[in-house]
Structures are given as structure tokens and as C-alpha cells.
Structure 1
Amino acid sequence: MTIQIIDTTVSHSKEDGYIGHVVFQYADHTAKYEITLQSKNKKEWNYSLNFALESGKEEDILFVDEQLEEDDELFDYLVDAVVSKL
């Protein structure tokens, strides 16, 4: 796997459903990323990708976002990190 998970948190409310945050390092990128995952039913997940601590290269975050869109295994790995905290 090309990522290393650094931290994972999750919360739940009736209004928002499940909201998870995963901070991770992707391959040899210098910046860390945070993905926010949201789901009402724990089956369909929406996400938002941001830099975690400090901004990095725009082309790097665009690359990671593309990988999340194309690689179901990578996306599921991050979702599983959130689900495991429930």
C-alpha cells in the first residue's frame, strides 16, 4: 500500500450520520493529507481531501485525489480505517 495512516477519528450524529477523519502520508509526498469521510448508512461514503497540517504541492493533492477516484482498494482502505473506529 502506498499510504501510511497517521491518525483516525470518527463521530456520529443523527443529523450528519458518520463523519470520519483520516490523516495519512501518501508515498514519498512531503505533505500529509486529511480525508474527511461522511456516510448516513456506512455503505455509501462521500469524501473531501485536504492537506492536513500545511499546504503542499497542488499537483500532489490532485494526484492523490485522482488515485482515490480510480483505486477502489485505496479508498476502501481509508473507509475501513474509519469503520474500524466505530
Structure 2
Amino acid sequence: MSVKITKASMRQDENQHYLGQVIFELENVKSPYEISFFSKNGKDWDYNLHFTAQSGDEEEFYELDARLEEDDDLFDELLSASWNTLEQSPSDE
């Protein structure tokens, strides 16, 4: 199943926690989705899945959420898209 990433971002907040976001579409899935990532250390990640614009098919939403839990490749692809937008501070270079 191919992924089309519409928008991705990642930043660090004032506590140096990582906050990321990806808006994406999946082949054969009706609605576009947004996934938000959160990590205190950049290694262990929590996420929240959302409909992007308006509510869509609830069953499809739960199926996609379950897939994200099981499909490491899909999760990692979305996380990498977000992570790759993180700007390095001058002290990190």
C-alpha cells in the first residue's frame, strides 16, 4: 500500500521534547489522515491519529490505527518523514 505524504514537520519544544506531524493519504483509503508524534528522548514515540479535515469512516479509522500498531514499516516511514524535517540547532552541528 503506497503512502502519499502531503505535509510533514518536526520541532522541539522548550523542554526539548520532540513534536511531529504528518498529513498523509494511503492507497485504497478514503480519507486523508494526520498523525502527531511525541517523544521525550527522540527514541520512544507516542502518537495520535486524527482525521485531517472532517470526520470520515470510523471503521476505516480504527483499521488504520491497528495497522499503525502492527506495521513497523508504515509507522517508521511516517515518523521518518517528520523526523527528516527537524532543523538542527547550531550547537548540534
- Taking structure 1 as the reference length, the TM-score comes to 0.91
Question: 2: CA distance between counterparts of 1:16 and 1:52?
Answer: 26
Letter in 1 for 2:7: D
Question: 2: CA distance between counterparts of 1:4 and 1:80?
Answer: 13
1:40 deviates by 1.4
Q: Is the 8 A contact 2:5 2:25 kept in 1?
A: yes
Letter in 2 for 1:46: D
Task: List structure 1 runs of 4+ shifted beyond 2 angstroms.
Answer: none
Q: Which has the higher strand share?
A: 1
Across the two proteins, how many residue pairs are aligned to each other? 86
SS class of match (1:75): helix
Cross-structure match for 2:49: 49
List gaps (5 residues or longer) in structure 2: 87-93
SS class of match (2:28): coil
Letter in 2 for 1:10: M
What fraction of aligned residue pairs are identical, expressed as a percent?
38
Cross-structure match for 2:84: 84
Cross-structure match for 2:2: 2
Larger radius of gyration: 2
Question: 2: CA distance between counterparts of 1:54 and 1:30?
Answer: 12
- Taking structure 2 as the reference length, the TM-score comes to 0.85
List gaps (5 residues or longer) in structure 1: none
